[in-house]
Amino acid sequence: MRRAPVTSWLLVVLLAGGCARPTHPGDPISGLSAGQLDRFRRGRAVFDSVFTPESGLGPLFNAAACGECHENPVSGGNGDEVEVHATAFHADGICDPLAGEGGPVIQQDATPALKAALGIDREPLPKDATGRGLRTSPVVFGRGLLDAVPDSVLLSYADPDDRNHDGISGRPNRFVDGRIGRFGRKAFVPTLAEFNAGAFVIEQGVTDPAVPTEELVGGAPIPAGVDPTPEPEIDQKAVDLTTDFLRFLALPSPVSMARGAGQGRGLFAGIGCARCHLPTLRTGKNPIRALDRRTFSAYTDLLLHDMGPDLADICLGLASPSEFRTEPLVGLRFAKHFLHDGRAATVEQAIALHGGEGSRSRDRFKALSARERTAVVAFLKSL
Amino acid sequence: MKRTASAAFLLLFAFALLPARAQQQPASVPIQGTVYSLKTKPASLDLLTGVGMALRLMHITTPPSARIESVGAAAPLSALKRGDIVRVQCHWSGKELVADRIEKVVVR
């Protein structure tokens, strides 16, 4: 089944639109215990902590704080930063993330000590890379809800062989150990906790108990004396608090819809966008009451879809260069650039750049009247 | 070599977390990942592992005593290929990771 139940979708809209207190960006999800709220607040403090070389930053890094890239309009929002990923896609279909050459994330900054030692101000691109991809920093609101959706739900939406002949053939990605992935633009990482633990290392160069080794510098070891801070540079308690901040960070309520946006919501579904950008998902049984069996606005199926050759960049896991995870659209109103690499300046451009499995809906969007297209965009900007 | 050093660090770290009594026996650690490369002489494999987007290569030697299973049956190391997902039970010899058992994982 590809379509979310209409009744549950309407329920979410009603709850978000008027029956419940609006949730603002940066708010915790409702229904947390006092202890969970305390962890949310303390986790946000770690998220906003600015690291220095003395406290573990680098030697290679993209930013000095989580909050540096996720700051607009509040902690957990998006950012202006664009990072670089590189991998190698081989003829036999196998993707090499170039872990032995410093990939797949190629850090764009270096500490003064590393600059002095190697004369570089960023990590070099791996020599074996066949693809290079740019990645904007998305909002991370509601990621705890996405984390709590059972794998079985994702698999129920998958249709890798397009057996229903709708031109859409979503499939899950797999992590290196075979588990189903869902986080990241290629849906590579299985859980929020792992994405977060890995992010401390690849984004800030801050090692943690789960990843107690620094990134390679283009495949070469870090020169002696450049990174004097003993590993791990942050403890598990701090990592777990940060994960709980993200886990408990709510989806902001949609803003009041502009004129025509209600019609735009219907058109969004009518032209087929909602076949991949599923309006709602439902969490499974969860020990955290606020995450337990909740239907929420998702606008994603967390699956990979072929978006055509024009958007293709890197492979990752099972994802070919042209396959991307359906982007969750909640928080789109905060974006200044669109698509995974920010190449689109407007929502309309982003839709126009949909290829592959998105072609049919793109063409239907183009065929709408100007007023109808405006309505669809108004709806998207309400999210 | 950096990747060996990284693997050693990971294993030593896991070993350090074990209770003192358990440390009297060689630590046996399960690692699940993707086969990155295989060598027959000397027999070894490089395994792609990691946490989130922080990926690492682990070099593991595979002595003749290592039991290798593919789909429930004993198999030679050559039955594995790049891209296969495997679960490796291994220990730290003092200078390298050594496989005790390698099992090919079927992903459904």
**A104 vs B82: CB contact, 8 Å cut-off?**
no
Which residues 22-81 of B have a C-beta within 8 angstroms of A? Answer: 32-34, 36, 46, 48-57
**A178 vs B107: CB contact, 8 Å cut-off?**
yes
For residue A206, what is the nearest residue in chain B, using CA coordinates? B54
**A178 vs B51: CB contact, 8 Å cut-off?**
no
- A94 closest CB neighbour out of B13, B46, B83: B83
For residue A107, what is the nearest residue in chain B, using CA coordinates? B54
For residue A212, what is the nearest residue in chain B, using CA coordinates? B10
- What is the torsion angle, in degrees rounded to the nearest 10, for the CA atoms of residue A225, residue A229, residue A233 and residue A235? 150
pLDDT at B26 over 90: no
For A197, the token pair is 């633990």
Distances (CA, A) of A229 to A55, A217, A235, B91, B93: 7, 17, 13, 28, 27
- Which uninterrupted H or E stretch holds A42? helix A34-47
**A177 vs B9: CB contact, 8 Å cut-off?**
no
- Whole-prediction pTM: 0.91
Query: Looking at residues B94-103, what average pLDDT do you find?
Result: 95
**In this predicted complex, what is the ipTM?**
0.92
pLDDT tens series, chain A, 383 aa: 444 444 455 455 444 444 568 999 999 999 999 999 999 999 999 999 999 999 999 999 999 999 999 999 999 999 999 999 999 999 999 999 999 999 999 999 999 999 999 999 999 999 999 999 999 999 999 999 999 999 999 999 999 999 999 999 999 999 999 999 999 999 999 999 999 999 999 999 999 999 999 999 988 989 999 998 999 999 999 999 999 999 999 999 998 877 778 899 999 999 999 999 999 999 999 999 999 999 999 999 999 999 999 999 999 999 999 999 999 999 999 999 999 999 999 999 999 999 999 999 999 999 999 999 999 999 999 99
For B106, the token pair is 């079927």
CATH class given for the domain over B29-104: mainly beta
Q: Which residues of B touch A189 (CB under 8 A)?
A: 52-53
pLDDT at B2 over 50: no
In angstroms, the CA A372 to CA A172 distance is: 33
